[in-house]
Structure 1
């Protein structure tokens, strides 16, 4: 029996998708529930699984843009009777051919072969057999090359044996290396053209690249195109302005330290910073409803609910999953909702319903080390709160100079609907709630 494998529907407004990558090869035996391929639309990235055991026949290669509902493969469910279903294919065998072909293409494209510097093997590794090579995306390949690492040294945690950026960063943390910035000197590869050395005979011939080889053109992914269009429209169609303030994070850090273990034991989830800002934003939005409203034509649409989107930098682009009815949720519910969205993003299980209906947005650039920024509005919303890095700074308290953990916060707002007085008042309310978190805590 031939079972059709189709590109699934992901929302009424989505008509096509990019078939990013096949996890299995043509002619492989697959199991029901096993991930077959990944698709990317202008809003979400999803993994598609097999509906039955059988022999896979691929009809559409990866890299093609296809309409929703297109049959991209078939599964012969009766083939398993003629050919017993083998044990799950080892990752080394499954990805070896792909890795070898990719290496051949990279070697052919490079003007001068450059060997990446391998990181030292773990203690006691000896002469053991090399680890299977995991599936690696382009962005992770760039990170590995930047840090001079070999993918085979790192244990993948992604679906189908994929290596994620989190796996690489965790590996660097374990080795005591910084996870951001430029690579160490010892991991920098040799330049393509080196100065002539006196001892080299004959001297190395200088390689001159044609102008077209000095640039690389790649098509924008659907998600990146969507982000670009959305950001541009926000700049063109709103009167955006940004106001700033700073918050003393001392008391919040004390509260988290004091109740961290108790909260974890009671709710089985960590007590983070974002849940406090979500609750503070809900308080401020109730007092200043214009920041929770939209402009539609010549009307202002006020919302009697508070659905806050939390911007997350995913591997394929920025996504903003929405946490609904924030004002009605407790701290544990908020932390669980955040964790659930992060897991969905990592596993490519985010659905359209997770992204729709937001009335306000919070973006935390501090996780990347940003000290200050001006976040762009997430249209049609009229406000977005930007959080930043917590940094010890000298401040004046009761006439004395003391060192406190401080955070700059920024509120970008649509000046067509929100006046400066309201924007400044909103940030001051956020500051009051975070510097005195007992006002908004209800569950500990």
Structure 2
């Protein structure tokens, strides 16, 4: 490299450093990234597709988390908040999603150094490098990122020195069909299929009251919904609950009485008791192939023991888990595990066939790096299709990432994380996973 080349590279790097870090998603992990960047003195902009921070959590705000307050608040965020007089709610109490938003995320987002950097109602449709598609290599690391942003006023391109994609997975549910493809006929009955974690006792009560609901999935989302529907059945005559699973037996949402998150352990025991009492009907070994409208209800057509069978219901709840939106990253050089769709070096640490929420090893920027320098997946999206994510894990991820962005490699490399001991988080050997709640 000539002296002229070195000078050009140095000027490009200085120019790059004047740009903000782009954070995609104003959920707990995105806001934690912002708090860490504030402490590091690095500029940033948060792009949130919803009307408010924590927009995905607000959709399941009625659900109580199984992690207490002491495990769901980011340390850097806590320091910023406590400097203003904020105090952590009762550490051992379990917040609902609404509690998490109103008592933590909203106050955090209202802090002056963060509030001025949040852009709501902005959907990032694509991420690339300025003037470069994924095939261009020369001076790539010195070239700004370009994000295509859709707003109420149209589409614009914005630039950034680095990107932390913490946009989550809640908006991308897995398919009801075991093939991973949408089952045939879904469009004809879409109005009878609910997203995971509906508010069956509140906002969505009229959808389920007096009807037969079939919950599909084997994780904590399914379990929480089943519990709510059984409670609704006690209040509303004619309400029936079926649990449809793909295996011969339901995956336990916990398998250990030593689970340090007592609420998580209790979910599985409560569901088991209700199944034993006949208040939840289990349909096992059912592989959905097609959906069809049946009067005002839905007919699920599937394979069971090699034969085609039907299951009739009024409403279906899709609690089969979630997957990341990778379409927006087509021009980014990603290195993803071919099975889990997590960063390749992270995947063995979170493989749901081996690990539970509480056995995931500490990890940071090194495990989250891609061939695209300065680009990181963080939070639930970094786990791809693995359901073993806890908020505390995401907070340590962004602490390490922001230290690396600040040039503090020593701090970025010192990853430490103490997670509560856990039983099975929520998965089965066939990959029919559900989701946990933090």
| TM-score of the superposed pair, with normalisation by structure 2 | 0.24
| TM-score, normalised with respect to structure 1 | 0.24
- Between Structure 1 and Structure 2, the one with more strand by share is 1
Higher relative contact order (CA 8 A, sep 6+): 2
In terms of Rg, which structure is larger? 1
